[in-house]
Every structure is written in structure tokens, then in C-alpha cells.
């Protein structure tokens, strides 16, 4: 019984606190998911499937900026470290959660619908996927935003994703970027509450209460969206996916 109580307390302490509102900030947490990205990370000879749709020509500058950061030829501004640093320094300085990070996979897509791509890095701690670092280009600078693994699961090519605080407390959203923070525009969510000895689960879409049936249909539509393509993090794949190709 004592070990069961300790386990429940540990799970509670590691949960990410996510405010359920139509546009709310996700609080950073060291919570991690045991799920792993399906290895669709084979090197490609063409630009990432995530950004094959027409993009403005000025994105050539953006892609080159990301490539320079990923190859340690340029620094980026880490929102969490509150300073500029190289990718190698970011991965090894242990200033976030006291841990060394290792980049295992990356993907390229437009997350916030502004026709400018972002790069998402999967970060492992002790070979366990634990965080994401989202790179966003703004005002001629690459910014990095650290997100707990359970806060950005099931990423789709339209930038939507699932976040989770538990089996009955989760939802779907899309990121919005600011200079010193990111916010999650919550599209739909479910949350649990306790009434005496009963657990009540409520469902919301666009911050309006809906039936379980409507929410399940919302989930079905989300699940049917195209998943992003994740690539193994290597110099070859970075150069392939982020090199500007003639139009």
C-alpha cells in the first residue's frame, strides 16, 4: 500500500500543468512519456514531405539559418537558458533540469500557419525521449522553446498535436510563438473532476462543452491527419532537408 501511494505521488509531481482555455500557456515540466517516435527517419533526397507545399521564397533564408544552428555554425537564442548559445552548448550545459540532452530525430514543418517553417528536435535524456526543442525564426534570429515530451505528441503536418496530463486529462492544440514564450491555442480537450466518489469526465471543443460522441468524432478527425516525417539526426539528413533547392 505504501509503495502504491508513493507511486501516485510521483506521477502527480511529474505531471505537466496545462490550463484548459482556448489560448493558454503550457508550463514547462520534466514529465516524460514512454512512447517513442516511429522511426520514419530514413534519409531523403528531396525536401521534407512536411514542407513540400509552396512556401514563400524568403524561407530560403530561414532554412539556411536553421541549418547553421543544427550544424553548430551559428548560435540560437534559448528561451529557457535566456541567452544565445550553440546547439552543442545547449545540449551539454545542464542548465535545464540538470540533464544532458541528445538530439535523436528532427522534423521540419510550419507549426503556426504563418507559412514560415519551424524545426522540431526530439531530445533524449539517458536514451529516453524526454523533451522537444522547437526552433522558430523571428526578426532574423532563431529562437528555441523547450517543451516536455507529453506536451507535444502526435505532431501533424498542419502543426496540431496532442498534449497529456493523464488518461482523462488531455487535449489537442497548436503553438503560438512570442519573443520570450510560447502559448498553446487549445482546440479541444477533456478533463476529469471528482464528485463524491464518482469521476466525471467533461469534453470541450473550441472551449465549448460538447458530448462524448462529438468529442470522439473530433479525435477521429485529428487522428486521420497526416503525421509529420521524422528524420534521424545526422549531418547528412540536416543538409538534405534544410538545403535550399532551386525552384
- 247 residues of the chain, pLDDT tens digit each: 444 434 333 333 334 434 333 333 333 333 333 345 544 444 444 445 565 444 455 689 999 999 999 999 999 999 999 999 999 999 999 998 899 999 999 999 999 999 999 999 999 999 999 999 999 999 999 999 999 999 999 999 999 999 998 878 999 999 999 888 999 999 999 999 988 888 899 999 999 999 999 999 999 999 999 999 999 999 999 999 998 755 5
Could you give the CA distance from residue 166 to residue 188 in angstroms, rounded to a whole number? 15
Give the residues across from 141 on adjacent strands.
138
Spatial strand order in the sheet of 208-210: 160-166, 169-177, 182-195, 198-205, 208-210
Amino acid at each position: 500500500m505504501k509503495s502504491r501511494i508513493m507511486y501516485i505521488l510521483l506521477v502527480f509531481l511529474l505531471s505537466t500543468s496545462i490550463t484548459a482555455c482556448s489560448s493558454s500557456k503550457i508550463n514547462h515540466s520534466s514529465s516524460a512519456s514512454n512512447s517513442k517516435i516511429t522511426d520514419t527517419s530514413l534519409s531523403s533526397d528531396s525536401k521534407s514531405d512536411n514542407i513540400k507545399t509552396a512556401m514563400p521564397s524568403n524561407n530560403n533564408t530561414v532554412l539556411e539559418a536553421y541549418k547553421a544552428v543544427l550544424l553548430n555554425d551559428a548560435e540560437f537564442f534559448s528561451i529557457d537558458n535566456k541567452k544565445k548559445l550553440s546547439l552543442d552548448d545547449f545540449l551539454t550545459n545542464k542548465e535545464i533540469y540538470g540533464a544532458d540532452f541528445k538530439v535523436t530525430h528532427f522534423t521540419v514543418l510550419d507549426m503556426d500557419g504563418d507559412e514560415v517553417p519551424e524545426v522540431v528536435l526530439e531530445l533524449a535524456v539517458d536514451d529516453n525521449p524526454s523533451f522537444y526543442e522547437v526552433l522558430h525564426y523571428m526578426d532574423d534570429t532563431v529562437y528555441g522553446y523547450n517543451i516536455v515530451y507529453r506536451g507535444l505528441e502526435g505532431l501533424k503536418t498542419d502543426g496540431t498535436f496532442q498534449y497529456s496530463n493523464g488518461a482523462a486529462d488531455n487535449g489537442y492544440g497548436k503553438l503560438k510563438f512570442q519573443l520570450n514564450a510560447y502559448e498553446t491555442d487549445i482546440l479541444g480537450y477533456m478533463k476529469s473532476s471528482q464528485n463524491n466518489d464518482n469521476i466525471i469526465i467533461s469534453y470541450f471543443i473550441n472551449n465549448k462543452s460538447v458530448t462524448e460522441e462529438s468529442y470522439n468524432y473530433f479525435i477521429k478527425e485529428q487522428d486521420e491527419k497526416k503525421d509529420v516525417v521524422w528524420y534521424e539526426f545526422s549531418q547528412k539528413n540536416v543538409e538534405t532537408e534544410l538545403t535550399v533547392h532551386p525552384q
